A and B are shown apart, each in its own frame.
Chain A
Amino acid sequence: MDKNIEFAVKPKVQIKGISDGLLIILGEGDWQELHDFLLDQIDQQVEFMRGARVALDVGNQVLKAADLGQLRSQLYDRDITLWAIISNSPTTDQTAQTLGMATRLTKVKSEMVEHPVSKEQTMGEQALLLHRTLRSGFSIHFPGHVVVIGDVNPGAEIVAGGNIIVWGRLKGMAHAGADGNKEAIVCALDLMPTQLRIADRISITPQDRKKALPEIVRLVDGEVVAEPWNPK
């Protein structure tokens, strides 16, 4: 059971006790202001906060590595571990992931399963464009389409409600149509995923794969089928 420990009446920062540490929920407003306010609040409760594991809900804030990295170091100096960032912005999610932090609480995850992303969102025009190399440990979950310009290295994973398009080498894990959309496709200039999933079907790259060529993968009669891209 969650025990609410609300000690700050001010709405800008809410601190709650959750099963694995503390959850701090930030209100809306200027990041710098909230950031300073948060540290100030923490400094007033040094004894209470010392050694805490903190998950931070930043709402709609769009945060860069410098912002989150700085905050994490400042919390470290106060002996507080920032282990997760909960956010509504894909950019902030990415930042948190590249910094090696979690982007969801276990509890939030189970809620996500109960409320799958709406059809409207996944089949719509929403797409996330990533113009970079996705390295090992990077994980992106997005309800729409995901387009990567760059390589997806082994150990990286993409989970998309819609299609996945990689303008580069796909060597990591790709899951298209993650909410059950069997029409979803995956295509890449060089398709060598560790594992490829479409809706609820899973496949691996055959060992005897010949040389690199662009391919497109879809479900045909429930089977994962890869076809070479032939412009003719």
Chain B
Amino acid sequence: MLGNVLTITSGKGGVGKTTATANIGAALAAAGNKVVCIDADIGLRNLDVVLGLENRIVYDLVDLIEGRCRMRQALIRDKRLPELFLIPAAQTRDKSAVSPSDMIKLCEELRKEFDWILIDSPAGIERGFRNAIAPADIAMVVTNPEVAAVRDADRIIGLIEAEEKGPARLLINRIKPGMVKRGEMLSPDDVLELLAVELIGMVPEDENVITSTNRGMPVALDGKSKAGEAFRNIAQRLLGSEVPFIPLEEDGGFIDRITKLFRSGGK
């Protein structure tokens, strides 16, 4: 069976595409799939850092496409998960080094060997995005519950539909349940009402993501993190299981927990 190509995109920068790619990739690999993550953000590579593989790069995506190395040489094996691989972006070139048909050809090769091919798209709607979306079977749009990110997600969903890669799946990242409850942040329902696409995951804001990103260790491999659990659930949904969405609860700080204790004790 040929593998699936999943492109993770957003329009707006900084909403968590790279984090989502690394974590969904890690979760799919941990569930026994052979996975390759491709960093399509040529010139601004990040995915290697998030996966903690920065120091192992010899060849990159552009070397591979321009024929300076073989497929095997560009594939970097993850240090924890033997079934997870990375093809890093070139840092010294720009988006015009790759064309949409290069990406399609590359993915045709990778499909034969991998169950999942994840493409981390750059922000924006220009060539980098078109390179990333060209080979996609499934397009996943990452957004944050804020007006500017949702606006850009809407634009990108329109472009995905126009490229006939729809329907897009939506990942709402960095939700702060406390703010939603107080009406200070868009709720997942507000976002879905506007975007009208299928939801594939809701990931709460979690400080563990920042620490794990800095350490190059995907949070999906951390059994205790809430964000990690949300990413593992997304992987399960991609594999066809019906996993209920985790209800969003305020992950109380110390004070919150004390208050809760008092409340439950007082009643």
25 A–B pairs (Cβ distance < 8 Å), ordered by A: A65-B163, A69-B163, A73-B99, A73-B100, A73-B134, A76-B101, A76-B127, A76-B130, A77-B100, A77-B101, A98-B158, A98-B159, A98-B162, A99-B163, A100-B125, A133-B196, A135-B154, A135-B158, A137-B125, A137-B158, A151-B196, A154-B151, A155-B154, A155-B155, A171-B194
Are A155 and B151 touching (Cβ within 8 A)? yes
Minimum CB–CB distance from B54 to chain A (whole Å) comes to: 30
- B60 interface residue, CB < 8 Å from A? no
Residue from A66, A76, A98, A153 within 8 A of B161 (CB atoms):
A98
B157 part of interface (Cβ distance < 8 Å): yes
* Chain B residues within an 8 Å CB radius of A99: 159, 162-163
A103 at the interface (CB under 8 A from B): no
From 128 to 143 in chain A, residues with beta carbon under 8 angstroms from any chain B beta carbon are 133, 135-138
A-B contact count (CB 8 A): 60
State which residues 98-125 of B face A: CB under 8 Å. Answer: 99-101, 125
Residues of A within 8 A of B (CB): 65-66, 69, 73, 76-77, 79, 95, 98-100, 133, 135-138, 151, 153-155, 171
Contacts of A69 in B (CB 8 A): 162-164
**Contacting pair B163 A76 (CB below 8 A):** no
In the bound complex, residues from chain A placing their C-beta under 8 Å from that of B41 are none
Residue of B with least CB distance to A171: B194
> B129's closest neighbor in chain A, by CB?
A100
B94 CB, nearest partner CB in chain A, Å: 13
Q: Min CB distance, A126 to chain B, in Å?
A: 25
B39 at the interface (CB under 8 A from A): no
User: Smallest distance from the beta carbon of A25 to chain B beta carbons, Å?
Assistant: 24
Report whether A136 and B163 are in contact in the complex, using a CB–CB cutoff of 8 Å: no
Q: A77-B101, A151-B196 are in contact. Are A100 and B159 (CB under 8 A)?
A: yes
Other A-B pairs, 12, CB within 8 Å; known A98-B162, A100-B159: A65-B164, A73-B99, A76-B130, A79-B96, A95-B162, A98-B159, A100-B125, A136-B154, A137-B125, A137-B154, A151-B194, A154-B154
Nearest Cβ on chain A to B260's Cβ, whole angstroms? 35
Q: Across the interface, which residues of A come within 8 angstroms of B155, CB to CB? A: 135-137, 155
Bound together, the chains give a CA A119 to CA B117 distance in angstroms of: 55
Whether B164 and A66, one on each chain, are in contact in the complex, defined by CB atoms closer than 8 angstroms, is yes
Report the 10 A-B pairs with minimum CB-CB distance, sorted nearest first. A135-B158, A98-B162, A136-B154, A136-B155, A137-B155, A135-B154, A73-B100, A65-B162, A99-B162, A136-B151
B229 sits at the interface (CB 8 A): no
Chain B residues 142 to 189 lying within 8 A of chain A, measured CB to CB, are: 151-152, 154-155, 157-159, 161-164
Task: Evaluate contact between A136 and B164: CB separation under 8 angstroms.
Answer: no
Q: Which residue of B lies closest to A96 (CB)?
A: B162
- In the complex, residue of chain B having the shortest beta-carbon distance to the beta carbon of A81: B127
- Chain B's closest residue to A98 (CB) is B162
Q: Is the CB of A153 within 8 A of B154?
A: yes
Residue contact B159 to A73, C-beta cutoff 8 Å:
no
Complex CA gap A100/B162 in Å reads: 9
Contacts of B194 in A (CB 8 A): 151, 153-154, 171
Rounded to whole Å, the gap between the CB of B99 and the closest CB of chain A is 5
List of A residues within 8 angstroms of B163 by Cβ: 65, 69, 99
Contact B99 A76 (CB under 8 A): yes
- Closest B residue to A135 using CB positions: B158
* Complex-state Cα separation, A162 to B67, whole angstroms: 56
Q: Is the CB of B157 within 8 A of A135?
A: yes
Complexed CA–CA distance, A79 and B95 (Å): 12
Q: In the complex the two chains form, what is the Cα distance from A73 to B155 in whole Å?
A: 20
A161 to chain B, nearest CB (A): 24
**Is the beta-carbon distance between A136 and B162 smaller than 8 angstroms?**
no
Distance of A65 Cα from B196 Cα, bound (Å): 21
Q: How far is the CB of A229 from chain B (nearest CB, A)?
A: 22
A136 touches B158 (CB 8 A): yes
Chain B residues whose C-beta falls within 8 Å of the C-beta of A79 in the assembled complex? 96
Measured between C-beta atoms, what is the minimum distance from B134 to chain A in Å? 7
Q: Give the nearest-CB partner of A138 in chain B.
A: B158
Closest to A153 in B: B154
Q: How far is the CA of A153 from the CA of B152 in the complex (A)?
A: 11
Chain A residues with CB under 8 A of B162: 65, 69, 95, 98-100
Q: Which residue of A lies closest to B125 (CB)?
A: A100
